[in-house]
């Protein structure tokens, strides 16, 4: 699987987008999530997430039994990540993904289609355990 590299002089930065599942794992103290994120950080990867994941995390915190406490925790975690936004190009990519899945008789949630489209449109690698992302053609995917 090819990884997108940004070259600045002699420096190379790998760019990685963290899906909702690994960030929830981190929040819950999942050892595998912590290990994967630590490994990515040690290897110099620039860690990002999507605006869709931001919404999913904030929504989860808001409806939790301790919304103010959990919102503060989520905000703190997100402050350490770059956020990829939903652009016109990402929307076009999402419509292509949707059409491709529909033509093959596959179903996927709209938020996951948008996450995949943002990742593809930005030439990122998505770190996720969600198997349905494997249905999306030419999506750089790293399982944790």
> Is the separation of the CB atoms in 17 and 48 below 8 Å?
yes
Q: Give residue-wise pLDDT tens across range 84-133.
A: 999 999 999 999 999 999 999 999 999 999 999 999 999 999 999 999 99
How confident is residue 15, by pLDDT bands cut at 50, 70 and 90?
A: confident
Please give the torsion angle defined by the CA atoms of residues 144, 33, 90 and 83, in that order, rounded to the nearest 10 degrees. Answer: -150
Q: How many CA atoms lie within 13 A of 26 on its CB side?
A: 21
Q: What is the pLDDT of residue 4?
A: 45
Q: What is the pLDDT of residue 126?
A: 98
Beta bridge mates, 46: 15
Closest CA to 16 of 119, 114, 116, 91: 119
> With 50 as the cut, is the pLDDT of residue 63 above it?
yes
Q: Give residue-wise pLDDT tens across range 19-61.
A: 999 999 999 999 999 999 999 999 999 999 999 999 999 999 9
Q: Distance between the two ends of the chain, CA-based, in angstroms?
A: 15
Alpha carbon distances (Å) from 45 to 17, 49, 97, 142: 10, 13, 26, 13
Beta bridge mates, 83: 49
**0.85 cut: is pTM over it?**
yes
Long-range CB contact pairs, 105-111, < 8 A, 24+: 106/135, 108/132, 108/135, 108/136, 111/52, 111/55, 111/56
Domains contained in the chain, CATH given: 5-142 (3.40.50.1010)
Closest CA to 53 of 90, 15, 89, 83: 83
Distance (Å, whole) CA 33 – CA 21: 9
């Amino acid at each position: 699987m090819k990884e997108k590299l940004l070259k600045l002089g002699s420096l190379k930065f790998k760019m990685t987008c963290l899906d909702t599942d690994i960030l929830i794992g981190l929040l819950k103290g999942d050892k595998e999530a912590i290990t994967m994120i630590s490994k990515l950080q040690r290897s110099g990867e620039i860690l990002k997430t999507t605006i869709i994941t931001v919404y999913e995390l904030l929504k989860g915190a808001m409806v939790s039994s301790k919304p103010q406490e959990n919102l503060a925790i989520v905000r703190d975690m997100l402050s350490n990540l770059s956020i990829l936004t939903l652009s016109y190009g990402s929307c076009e990519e999402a419509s292509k993904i949707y059409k491709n899945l529909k033509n093959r008789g596959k179903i996927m949630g709209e938020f996951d289609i948008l996450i995949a489209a943002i990742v593809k449109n930005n030439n990122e690698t998505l770190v996720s355990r969600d198997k349905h992302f494997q249905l999306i053609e030419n999506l750089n995917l790293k399982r944790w």
